[in-house]
Chain A
């Protein structure tokens, strides 16, 4: 007996809360103001802000991606705990492999 315990609904509810925070964060991201006239520092400030915006977008997308993959695995009712673990470990190995 390897399928010790899986509370799919509980985990999905928690992941929905993560998605809600990402939606809010994406909404903030889309509020990026127009490039300001910052005088002699205009291009430097634009580079700093746009790099930060790009990084924020990647962070949001990656967290959304992790949540979506986890939800997808949980949605498959035929998958047991051990298989869920295998699936998540595959992602972990990809992240560790850089």
Chain B
């Protein structure tokens, strides 16, 4: 029996995708603003009914397009937070590998082997002291190994829970993209307009022709590899399995498994918009499991009230927390009462920044030493 400390995934590539989503959202905002300017000024060029008709039509198009920029803008910090989580997990796991080796456990690459001993039983009280010392060393290794198994299982369980809390709402919000459905067809409803629109899109050299279904299919293959890894991780060690189960309630886990099954079906579809058939099902499942609060928001809520907010903000900042006085100031400035504090914390501080603070609050030793294994 052994414990693998490998964490599948490429945080740098995940972060690059988050960066792209942010850039894409910003460029859609630029388009929207330019159209808004033109609409606002159209009556300078097309006075009378023509100007106001253009203004109303441009506003209708802007309203129908706006969910795209919001969706990408909302998703980007979540993707960054996930990448940061993978990075922090790897940092911790690499530290565990070093600690495990230092404490006498056998380590092969990213795998820690279960400790063994030549002794068949615990030596008697009057046994040779060398045998007793050998036994004590073995027990110490067992303690370290079991603690490691629990920590690894807990980390995976918490990661799965985090995914359900943060990705399920984004899946649920896919339904918000519905206004984009049929928009181009409505603009091209008459034959002359269709000819003009088709020509405009055909001559737009930069227009992407990427096959997104193929993109998703490739991702699905990597997902299958990751699922195989986590299944083996759980089945390989009862302590890891138990810790993962404890950190990730069965109901949430089953909900996410159901969601992943449906995502696999949707991944084969050429287009997500319009949101119909299997896409509706994933939106429904995503909405059903989209619940739960982060540790930092609970603390902000518990310490609600101006004094509490000042205490939380000051504590984070004075102790040299991840974002120091900037976030500390945000907590002080925004916290007034319990529920409002939680709302402000989650609404004003991006999830990737909250994540860094959560991690620091959970383990205040992070900045001077990594989490220490028992034994």
Chain A residues in contact with chain B, CB under 8 A?
Answer: 2, 4-8, 10-11, 14-15, 17-18, 20-70, 72, 81-82, 84-85, 88-92, 94-98
Contact = CB atoms under 8 A, between A and B. Distances in A.
A55 B215 contact: no
A72 to B, nearest CB: 5
Contact-size category for B:
35 or more
Nearest to B66: A59
11 contacts: A14-B41, A14-B42, A17-B34, A23-B206, A34-B215, A35-B215, A44-B171, A47-B219, A56-B72, A69-B187, A91-B189
**Nearest 9 pairs of A and B residues by beta carbon:** A39-B9, A46-B219, A36-B13, A68-B200, A85-B49, A55-B68, A59-B65, A11-B45, A43-B223
Given A26-B204, A95-B186, A17 B20 contact: no
B122 interface: no
B167 A45 contact: yes
Given A4-B48, A62-B187, A72-B196, A88 B260 contact: no
A52 B24 contact: yes
Nearest to A36: B13
B345 to A, nearest CB: 24
Interface of B: 7-10, 13-14, 16-17, 20-21, 23-24, 27-28, 30-31, 34-35, 37-38, 41-42, 44-50, 53-54, 56-58, 60-61, 64-65, 67-69, 71-72, 75, 79, 82, 86, 159-160, 163, 167, 170-171, 174, 177, 180, 182-184, 186-190, 192-193, 196-197, 199-201, 204, 206-208, 210, 212, 215-216, 218-220, 222-223, 226-227, 230, 259-260, 263-264, 266-267, 271-273, 282
B206 A43 contact: no
Contact of A40 (B79, B210, B226): B226
B167 A46 contact: no
A2 B49 CA distance: 10
